[in-house]
Every structure is written in structure tokens, then in C-alpha cells.
């Protein structure tokens, strides 16, 4: 089993308008970490930078813009990312794909797909399939009354489980997301993850929302 734990940073919330500026990932093969990467890139000339995205980083819009333009060109970043993907996936083999896993992963996949298309590459899904959203599992734990969270933000869940997090740092975010997933598997009874329960919550919280977002949806129990 090949998993790609993925998190991104962007210049806004709209993948059709804003740009991808950071991609952090952990490549895991049969539960063994094979590679960790953190790629930073500038944006295309026609992509916008939202002041709210700058504020989240604790920067002014001018400071945020200057930082972004110090990053490598998008094409160079694309080639670096593709090189990593090609090391682990045979894009011509339909059975050889990453299970992409993250927190609110549909957002990240949407921006990654838009980034590939901006590089004139419409074949992202030659490398990935079956996304798994840890956010859905957290919501499931809440819905079933197994554990209470003040809210379902990554920062809140990390605090609840005493997992270190440097918020809005994609490398820290994805490392924390991976820790959350394996913490849940270690701490909670396996009955929590029975197929019947997960299929129901996947239907209620996962598939419906992801169809609205236009992204693929995988099975939660494949983590």
C-alpha cells in the first residue's frame, strides 16, 4: 500500500483564482516512511494573493507577496514534484496509485489538480486515487460520542490529543495529521472502524461533501 500524506499552503481559497505556494508530503509504503518533502513555489502572473492568507501567516500583504516571489518558479517546482511521484508510482499502471491522505484533503487535491493543469498536465490522477480525509474520521468520533472536541480544526484536535503543531506550516500540519490518524488507530477499539459504521459516516459526511466539491472520495478504513 502506498500512501501520500499531503498538505498545502495557498494564496487563498479558490483554486481557480489563487495559487499553490507550498506542498508538503510524506511518502509511505507499507507503513514505512520512504520520503519527506517540502516544496515551495511562486505563483503564476494571473493568480491572486488574498490579504486574509497573508494575515494567517502573520504578515502584511506586501511581506507575503515578497516571500512568495522569493520561491522557485512554478515549473521547477512541478518538475521536482513529478520526479518524486515517478519514483514511487508507475503512472501507466492503473493499480499503482497513491492513496492521498490529509486533513480536509479535498481542498489540497483541488489546488494540486489546478497546479498540474497550469503546467499543461491533466494527468494528476495517473498518480493518485482513493483520498482519505482524517477530518471525516474526527467528525465520526464526535458524532458517535466517542470523544468531544471544541471544534474540528486541526489545531483543536492536536491540542486534544497533545500532538505538537506549528499551525499553517504544511510540513508540521501533515506530520500532525499522520500522528492523529495513527493515534486514533492505537487508542480506540477497532469496532469504531468497522465497515458498517465507516460506510455510514462516509456517506453522511464524506461522499456528499466531496461530490459538491467535485473531488474523488475513497474509503476511510484504508489508512
pLDDT at 141: 87
Separation of alpha carbons 5 and 102, rounded Å:
6
Which domains are present in the chain?
2-222 (3.30.420.10)
Separation of alpha carbons 119 and 74, rounded Å:
8
User: Please, are residues 81 and 60 in contact by the beta-carbon 8 Å criterion?
Assistant: no
pLDDT digits (tens, 9 = 90+) for 32-86: 999 999 999 999 999 999 999 999 999 999 999 999 999 999 999 999 999 999 9
- Other beta carbons within 10 angstroms of residue 22's beta carbon come to 19
Dihedral angle over CA of 201, 204, 207, 211, nearest 10: -160
Q: Mean pLDDT throughout 95-104?
A: 96
pTM attached to this predicted model: 0.86
Q: What are phi and psi of 20, to 5 degrees?
A: -85, 130
- Other beta carbons within 10 angstroms of residue 146's beta carbon come to 13
Separation of alpha carbons 15 and 88, rounded Å:
26
* Average pLDDT of the chain, as a whole number: 88
Amino acid at each position: 500500500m502506498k500512501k501520500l500524506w499531503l498538505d498545502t499552503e495557498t494564496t487563498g481559497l479558490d483554486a481557480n483564482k489563487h495559487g499553490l505556494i507550498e506542498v508538503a508530503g510524506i511518502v509511505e509504503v507499507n507503513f514505512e516512511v520512504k520520503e519527506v518533502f517540502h516544496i515551495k513555489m511562486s505563483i503564476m502572473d494571473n493568480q491572486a494573493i488574498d490579504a486574509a492568507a497573508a494575515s494567517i501567516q502573520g504578515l502584511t500583504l506586501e511581506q507575503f507577496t515578497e516571500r512568495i516571489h522569493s520561491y522557485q518558479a512554478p515549473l521547477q517546482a512541478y518538475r521536482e514534484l513529478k520526479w518524486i511521484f515517478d519514483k514511487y508510482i508507475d503512472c501507466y499502471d492503473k493499480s499503482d496509485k497513491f492513496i492521498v491522505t490529509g486533513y480536509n484533503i479535498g481542498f489540497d487535491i483541488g489546488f494540486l489538480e489546478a497546479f498540474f493543469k497550469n503546467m499543461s498536465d491533466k494527468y494528476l490522477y495517473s498518480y493518485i486515487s482513493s483520498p482519505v480525509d482524517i477530518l471525516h474520521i474526527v467528525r465520526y468520533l464526535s458524532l458517535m460520542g466517542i470523544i468531544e472536541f471544541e471544534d474540528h480544526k486541526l489545531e483543536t484536535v492536536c491540542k486534544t490529543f497533545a500532538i505538537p503543531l506549528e499551525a499553517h506550516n504544511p510540513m508540521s500540519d501533515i506530520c500532525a495529521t499522520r500522528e492523529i490518524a495513527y493515534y486514533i488507530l492505537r487508542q480506540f477499539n477497532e469496532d469504531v472502524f468497522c465497515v458498517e459504521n465507516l460506510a455510514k459516516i462516509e456517506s453522511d459526511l464524506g461522499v456528499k461533501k466531496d461530490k459538491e466539491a467535485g473531488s474523488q472520495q475513497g474509503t476511510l478504513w484504508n489508512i
